[in-house]
């Protein structure tokens, strides 16, 4: 069984920041969590606003909670708001159900963790997360 390491998490963060620079995004915050939802690494770019660490972590936690990227949670917040509200309730409010929480998987589908990014639009946050995950040779699942 593979797992995300600190070195891998730092590489994911660096690649996500490089993607953000190439797209000229607003300052991002990136959280990398292992499959159990524990933070491996978290980084904020200069100028990132308050609460960004909690939002980035909430996107990643949401993806891990349902086993699919947070884009799925966003869609369900619109079509089944009672489900997402209940899920957020049982998580103690830890879930942010918008795109930007992306699962990091092996080629055979094993979930190794999740990356949550916030700071720009949700679509841009997600693109940066995908870039970070793919930079370490893992499969990105956006939902």
- 2 vs 24, more confident: 24
CATH at 81:
3.30.450.150
DSSP 125-143: HHHHHHHHHHHTTPEEE--
Band of residue 48 on the pLDDT scale cut at 50, 70, 90: very high
Are the C-beta atoms of 64 and 35 separated by less than 8 Å?
yes
| Cα distances (angstroms) measured from residue 36 to each of 81, 113, 133 | 25, 7, 17
Taking residues 76-99, what's their average pLDDT?
95
- Measure the N-to-C terminal CA separation of the chain; round to a whole number of Å: 23
How many domains, the chain? 1
Residue 118 lies in a domain: yes
Tokens of 23: 């797209």
Residue 50 lies in a domain: yes
Residue 137 lies in a domain: yes
Residue 26 lies in a domain: yes
Q: For residue 58, what are the domain limits? A: 6-141
Taking residues 28-44, what's their average pLDDT?
98
Question: In this predicted structure, what is the pLDDT of residue 143?
Answer: 86
Residue 91 lies in a domain: yes
Instruction: Assign 59 to helix, strand or coil.
Output: helix
* For the chain, percent of residues with pLDDT exceeding 70: 99
Outline where DSSP puts E strands in 6-110.
Answer: 29-34, 39-44, 101-105
Are the C-beta atoms of 104 and 64 separated by less than 8 Å?
no
Are the C-beta atoms of 28 and 118 separated by less than 8 Å?
yes
Question: In this predicted structure, what is the pLDDT of residue 59?
Answer: 98
- 138 vs 1, more confident: 138
Residue 112 lies in a domain: yes
pTM over 0.85: yes
Band of residue 1 on the pLDDT scale cut at 50, 70, 90: low
Residue 1 lies in a domain: no
Residue 39 lies in a domain: yes
Q: In this structure, how many other beta carbons lie within 10 angstroms of the beta carbon of residue 64? A: 21
Tell me what the pLDDT averaged over the chain comes to: 96
């Amino acid at each position: 069984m593979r797992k995300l390491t600190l070195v891998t998490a730092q590489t994911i963060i660096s690649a996500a920041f490089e993607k953000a620079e190439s797209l000229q995004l607003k300052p991002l915050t990136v959280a990398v969590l292992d499959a159990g939802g524990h933070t491996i690494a978290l980084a904020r770019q200069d100028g990132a606003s308050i609460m960004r660490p909690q939002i980035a972590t909430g996107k990643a936690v949401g993806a891990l909670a349902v086993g699919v990227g947070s884009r799925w949670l966003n869609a369900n917040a619109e079509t089944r708001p009672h489900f997402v509200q209940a899920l957020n309730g049982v998580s103690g409010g830890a879930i942010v159900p918008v795109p930007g929480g992306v699962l990091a998987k092996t080629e055979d589908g094993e979930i190794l963790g999740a990356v949550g990014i916030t700071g720009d639009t949700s679509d841009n946050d997600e693109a940066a997360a995908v870039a970070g995950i793919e930079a370490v040779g893992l499969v990105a699942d956006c939902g």
